[in-house]
Amino acid sequence: MELLEDRYEFDNISYESGIDITNKDQVEKKVVDSPAGVLLHLAAKADVDGCEKDRDEDSKKLKNQESEKISGLNTAWAVNVEGTRNIVEACQKSAKKIIYISTDFVFDGKNPPAGGYIEEDTPNPTNWYAKTKYEGEKIVVNSGLSYLICRIAFPYRASFAPKKDLVRGILEKLKNKQVVYMVTDEIITPTFIDDIAGAFDFLIKNDITGIYHVVGSSSHSPLELGHLIAQTFSLNESLIKETTRAIYFANRAARPFSLALKNDKLTKLGIKMSTFQEGLEKIKAQLL
């Protein structure tokens, strides 16, 4: 919204405006009454470990065919699946295009294709968060609506008071001379949020449909990210210590550990996504 408010008029239908995505009536009234032609669906319960704790409760209700009792709850299925269903049905009633924000986590990372996952690769979620996001994707695809699914990964930006991202969390610790433990045996594709906004602008203006990986142009291990952050901001690299996923993620939700995503499909449209190094340089310039 900050980056595109000079080009679009936004009608906020988040919690801030009193709308609960799991409340079908609230969603329908707000969406149907809105004159907007496009709905950008960013809402999600994205706490991976928190979502995993919802698995038993959600699964029990689904097994007993009590899906209607999930609505109104704050579980992963309620927000990410039933909430998406509410949004889709409201868009169907008002003939709106939907842009659904999904995640790299829909892939299992076990046998990734050379160079990274492309949009046509088959998802296979490994945890409840990813399962619910993929179910949301399927609802959108099968809706009959004009749709765009944008899978993003590890978004980061220069500043945002309400929530830290991976980059700013590491940066803050290094500035405070704290030791940072970084995983060596994981691959992720961090994405500069300003680039995501720019991609949204192009995709909306040109009425693009389908599935796109709106991700950065380089993939790294978290350890590599830590060193690049320290080098870019001239901070003490010796504070970055190695650890492994087995230690760092012990007793937590299962995670896919090789999540290089390719953005070639986006690039062919002429959209340039920053490498991680380029993104860091832009952040550094913004913070001056």
Domain annotation covers residue 2: no
CA distance 274 to 121: 23
Domain annotation covers residue 138: yes
Closest to 129 measured CA to CA, from 53, 216, 24, 212: 53
| pLDDT tens-digit profile, the chain (288 residues) | 999 999 999 998 888 889 999 999 999 999 999 999 999 999 999 999 999 999 998 888 888 777 666 666 789 999 999 999 999 999 999 999 999 999 999 999 998 999 999 999 999 999 999 999 999 999 999 999 999 999 999 999 999 998 999 999 999 999 999 999 999 999 999 999 999 999 999 999 999 999 999 999 999 999 999 999 999 999 999 999 999 999 999 999 999 999 999 999 999 999 999 999 999 999 999 998
Q: What is the tens place of the pLDDT at every residue in 195-230?
A: 999 999 999 999 999 999 999 999 999 999 999 999
**What local confidence, expressed as pLDDT, does residue 5 receive?**
94
**What local confidence, expressed as pLDDT, does residue 57 receive?**
87
* Number of structural domains the chain divides into: 1
Domain annotation covers residue 114: yes
Domain annotation covers residue 1: no
* DSSP class per residue in 157-190: -S--TT---HHHHHHHHHHTT--EEEESS-BB--
Domain annotation covers residue 201: yes
CATH of the domain at 146: 3.40.50.720
- Type of residue found at 126: T
* Residue pair 74/132 in contact by the 8 Å Cβ criterion: no
Domain annotation covers residue 189: yes
Query: Which pairs count as long-range contacts for 231-236, CB under 8 Å and 24+ apart, including other chains?
Result: 232/277, 232/280, 232/281, 232/284, 233/171, 233/174, 233/175, 233/280, 233/284, 235/171, 235/174, 235/175, 236/174, 236/177
Estimate the share of the chain in helix, then strand, then coil, as percent rounded to the nearest 5: 45, 15, 45
Domain annotation covers residue 238: yes
**What local confidence, expressed as pLDDT, does residue 15 receive?**
84
Domain annotation covers residue 252: yes
**What local confidence, expressed as pLDDT, does residue 70 receive?**
66
CA distance 230 to 241: 12
CA distance 3 to 193: 10
Edge-to-edge strand ranges of the sheet holding 210-213: 38-41, 97-103, 147-152, 210-213
Domain residues for 108? 15-287
**What local confidence, expressed as pLDDT, does residue 60 receive?**
85
pTM, full prediction: 0.95
